[in-house]
Amino acid sequence: MNIVSLENVSKNYGFKPLFENVTLGLEDRDKIGIIGANGAGKSTLLRVIAGLEEPDTGRVIRAKGKSLAFLSQNPQFDDNFTVLETIFASSGGVMQTILEYENACHDLAAGDHSPKLLERVSELQHELEMNGGWEIETNARAVLTKLEINDTSAKMGTLSGGQRKRVALAHELIFKPDILILDEPTNHLDADTIEWLESYLARYTGVLLLVTHDRYFLDRVTDRIFEVDRGTVQSFAGNYAYYLEKKAEQEELRAVEGHKREQLIKKELAWLRRGAKARTRKSKHRIEAAHSLMALPKEQAKGEVDIAIGSKRLGSKVIEINGVSKSYGDNILIDNLTYLLKRDDRIGVIGANGSGKTTLLDMITGRVPPDSGEIEIGQTVHIGYYDQESRELNDDERVIDYIRNVAEYVTTNEGVQITAGKMLERFLFSPAAQYAVIGNLSGGERRRLYLLRILMGSPNVLLLDEPTNDLDIPTLIALEEYLDDFPGALIVVSHDRYFLDRTIDNVFRFEPGGEVREYAGDYSAYLEYRERTEAEQKSVEAPKQRSPENTAKEKPRSKKLSFKEIREFEQVELRIAESEKRLPKIDVELAAAASDAGRVHELFLEQQELNSRLDADLARWAELAERMEESGQAAAN
């Protein structure tokens, strides 16, 4: 049964048709990935399906009674709303009840024990029990934890772009709509969180439609692929690997058909050129057919990014990192890191958000000084630093001027000199687009232009900070091929597991406390090592846990909570609320007391103790909540 149908849908912007006469159906439980080059119309297609944009022609039909949620690349919020209000308030129904319940619990934790508030808490608990709200509330806590959304009282206006995207994603996942549409959901997520999201969406039972550059994610989550290419939308009944296989077959067949057509045109031209006298005796029908064949438009070649830029010679001394440490307050990012970067190193840097990965690159380039230790750069080193924020882009500058500021001519890896304009054409910027101002470019075009600017400098050491954000899959493939033959050293910070597997042979993982651990091999090799280590640890712990002495003490536990456990459940909830309220205040006090070492130490100890207690309380709360849900109980009034 079709949940969403598109009938002859077209969408144009100015003279550029994004897609024309698209007819497709989205069936129940479909998991669809949309791929295509930047500017092909992927996000526009999502918005048309979601009903946020009207098609120029045709219509979109959605089944009645089906809920829909849309995650855009840049979600908009009310800056005065808290994180909690943003996640729950806009959906109404049981979500609104959960919001009221959470706010009431915060008020209880703040010391308000008035009979009116206690009565309201009791009413809300009853409502959540009757409408299945406890299951949603438990799911909400799990989602918030996995997305590292800890301070639910923070105002949306104080959050970074990445944090806002996580809050928006949390809202859509907790809402559990019938149709879930996600535009680049993996941006701003670390690799571990992407793995969790991957498994979460694999269990999702509604219609899923997403745009992502993460090819592992596409391969493991989707079962259909829509390719948006040169005004058409083609459907492939399989995952990304299946799409690649069928696309290769199509291209091969297209090449054969194109060759046959060229040969036929040559034959017909020779026939027509035998002279006017001869042509008078020829079949009028065949002459018309020949002209029609030659009048057919040649198939437009698909634009592909061509990265063929040379690099400067690199000497034996590259980069030496000697005993480098970096902290911000009590947050130790890097502790006594020493490493000798070699000319053929291919290093992938991974770790949680905020762990110090970008800080390391900023220290290597001199943007941020280390607290201790030193970084020595070899005399022949020319660093190309592709940062997350594209900080060198000037919105008021023309595209062609931005590139000419680096070089008027560039030497390719084949030793050929070409102009900056020709190089822009290789990066899919037409002559007309080269005279547009940078501020008018799309996010993907800006990142592609910034990549060209970095490579135009012919670097021999490349530092890439989240290069896969906003770059389309064709550009990523071209970049990977360029890096295959890159003769210098590479350090790449990325959450894209596929990109890491294609480009690196060593992993640096940032651990808590500033430790940087090195693992040999690509990202998949690191995962295998981690899984093997965890399995070995469990096998060592299992005999201790299942010893005869411990087994004798174990008694079957009733799923139903005792009165004492119900009271404990409520107390744990209050403690969690208190801890979540106090922790952000400690951060503020730490910043204010930066010059008072004694006070900073005191606050740091309190912060550690609170975090430890919060972890224990969350674990106990989850255990009690699961048993309460299974037994159909409600908390005591």
Which phi and psi (to 5°) does residue 514 adopt?
90, 0
What pLDDT, on the 0 to 100 scale, is given for residue 298?
Answer: 53
Q: Are 84 and 102 in contact (CB under 8 A)?
A: yes
What pLDDT, on the 0 to 100 scale, is given for residue 33?
Answer: 95
In this prediction the pTM is 0.71
Pairing of strands 383-386, 372-377: unpaired
The answer on pLDDT for 455 being more than 50 is yes
Q: Are 509 and 351 in contact (CB under 8 A)?
A: yes
What pLDDT, on the 0 to 100 scale, is given for residue 58?
Answer: 94
pLDDT band at 74 (very low <50, low <70, confident <90, very high): confident
pLDDT tens per residue across span 580-616:
888 878 777 766 665 565 676 677 678 778 877 887 8
pLDDT band at 559 (very low <50, low <70, confident <90, very high): low
How far are the Cα atoms of 69, 71, 381, 487 from residue 2, in angstroms, in the given order? 17, 22, 58, 52
pLDDT tens per residue across span 494-517:
999 999 999 999 999 999 899 999
Number of CB atoms found within 10 A of residue 392's CB:
13
Round to whole Å and give the CA distance between 326 and 332: 6
Which phi and psi (to 5°) does residue 484 adopt?
-55, -35
Where would I find the beta strands (DSSP E) of 72-206?
Answer: 179-183
The residues, any chain, with a CB within 8 Å of residue 188's CB and separated by 6 or more, are 161, 162, 163, 165, 166, 353, 469
Pairing of strands 16-27, 2-13: antiparallel
pLDDT tens per residue across span 383-410:
999 988 777 788 889 999 988 888 888 7
Output the six-digit token pair for 375: 């970084």
Residue type present at position 314: L
What pLDDT, on the 0 to 100 scale, is given for residue 388?
Answer: 82
The owner of tokens 């806009």 is: 90
What pLDDT, on the 0 to 100 scale, is given for residue 304?
Answer: 67
How far are the Cα atoms of 180, 200, 238, 360 from residue 205, in angstroms, in the given order? 10, 10, 17, 41
- Written as one string, the DSSP assignment of 360-420 is HHHHHTTSS--SEEEEEE-TT--EEEE-TT-TT--TTSBHHHHHHTT-SEEEBTTS-EEEH
Q: Are 171 and 86 in contact (CB under 8 A)?
A: yes
- Written as one string, the DSSP assignment of 509-566 is EEPGGG-EEEEES-HHHHHHHHHHHHHHHHHHHHHHHT-HHHHHH--PPPSSPPHHHH
pLDDT band at 249 (very low <50, low <70, confident <90, very high): confident
What pLDDT, on the 0 to 100 scale, is given for residue 319?
Answer: 95
What pLDDT, on the 0 to 100 scale, is given for residue 221?
Answer: 93
Half-sphere exposure of residue 321, counting CA atoms within 13 Å on the CB side?
23
Say if residue 229 is exposed, middle or buried (CB neighbours under 10 Å; 0-12, 13-18, 19+): middle
**High-pLDDT (> 70) share of the chain, %:** 84
pLDDT tens per residue across span 278-293:
445 455 555 566 556 5
Output the six-digit token pair for 26: 């989205």
- Written as one string, the DSSP assignment of 472-516 is -HHHHHHHHHHHHT--SEEEEE-S-HHHHHHH-SEEEEEPGGG-E
pLDDT band at 14 (very low <50, low <70, confident <90, very high): low
Strongest mean pLDDT among 333-342, 538-547, 581-590: 333-342
**High-pLDDT (> 90) share of the chain, %:** 29
Round to whole Å and give the CA distance between 341 and 194: 29
The residues, any chain, with a CB within 8 Å of residue 97's CB and separated by 6 or more, are 124, 127, 128, 131, 133
Q: Are 450 and 385 in contact (CB under 8 A)?
A: no
Round to whole Å and give the CA distance between 77 and 132: 28
Round to whole Å and give the CA distance between 149 and 177: 21
Which stretch of DSSP H or E encloses residue 235? strand 232-236
Q: Are 184 and 213 in contact (CB under 8 A)?
A: yes
The owner of tokens 């590292």 is: 148
What pLDDT, on the 0 to 100 scale, is given for residue 288?
Answer: 60
Alpha helices in 176-274 (DSSP H): 191-202, 215-221, 240-272
Round to whole Å and give the CA distance between 43 and 212: 10
pLDDT band at 151 (very low <50, low <70, confident <90, very high): confident
Number of CB atoms found within 10 A of residue 122's CB:
15
Q: What residues are paired with 68 via a beta bridge?
A: 179
Which phi and psi (to 5°) does residue 406 adopt?
-90, -50
CA 485 to chain centre: 27
Strongest mean pLDDT among 43-47, 117-121, 127-131: 43-47
pLDDT band at 382 (very low <50, low <70, confident <90, very high): very high
Three-state DSSP at 18 gives strand
What pLDDT, on the 0 to 100 scale, is given for residue 285?
Answer: 58
More confident of the two residues 168 and 107: 168
